[in-house]
């Protein structure tokens, strides 16, 4: 997604299928992180190559895995394969996580005002942990 000129230590790539970015972006900005959505690249190049380059060049991946979205699962799998710090978000109303993701720590949220506060609080903790380890 054109991250070649951005210091990857300051970039978070969000892989979201919903408006989760409204919660994610402000928290990332508290950590002086540039927050980019994987689906907001308007280049004329191959989509898959842009996504792969974005994952490689981002320092952290935050993925919303609530809906069964094969593209998101593929991108999360690639992020895991290259050992990219990946934070998974999921609505607690989702009946069950896919088997291959069920072993990973996931930040489950309630889609409400109090749920938003909880996501913000826990997302800060995840980011602090990534930067201190």
- DSSP secondary structure string, 27-82? HHHHTT-EEEETT----SS-HHHHHHHHHHH-SEEEEE-SS--HHHHHHHHHHHHT
pLDDT reported for residue 20? 64
pLDDT reported for residue 19? 59
Query: CA triplet 125, 126, 129: central angle to 5 degrees?
Result: 85
> What distance in Å separates the CA atoms of residue 45 and residue 58, rounded to the nearest whole number?
19
pLDDT reported for residue 18? 58
What average pLDDT does the segment 123-131 reach?
92
User: What SS3 class is residue 130?
Assistant: helix
Residue 122's region, left for phi above 0, alpha for psi from -120 to 50, else beta, is alpha
Greatest CA separation for the chain: 41
Q: Give tens-digit pLDDT for 23-81.
A: 888 998 898 888 887 777 777 888 888 889 889 989 999 999 999 999 999 999 999 99
pLDDT top residue among 95 and 16: 95
Q: Identify the CATH number of the domain defined by range 3-132.
A: 3.40.50.450
pLDDT reported for residue 36? 83
């Amino acid at each position: 997604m054109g991250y070649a000129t951005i210091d990857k230590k300051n970039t978070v790539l969000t892989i979201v299928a919903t408006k989760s970015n409204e919660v994610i972006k402000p928290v990332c900005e508290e950590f002086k992180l540039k927050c980019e959505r994987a689906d907001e690249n308007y280049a004329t190049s191959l989509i898959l190559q842009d996504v792969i380059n974005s994952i490689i060049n981002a320092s952290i991946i935050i993925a919303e895995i609530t809906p069964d979205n094969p593209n998101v699962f593929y991108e999360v799998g690639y992020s895991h394969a290259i050992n990219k710090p990946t934070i998974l978000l999921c609505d607690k109303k989702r009946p069950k996580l896919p088997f291959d993701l069920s072993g990973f720590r996931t930040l489950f949220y309630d889609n409400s005002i109090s749920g938003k506060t909880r996501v913000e609080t826990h997302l800060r903790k995840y980011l602090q942990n990534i930067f201190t380890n």
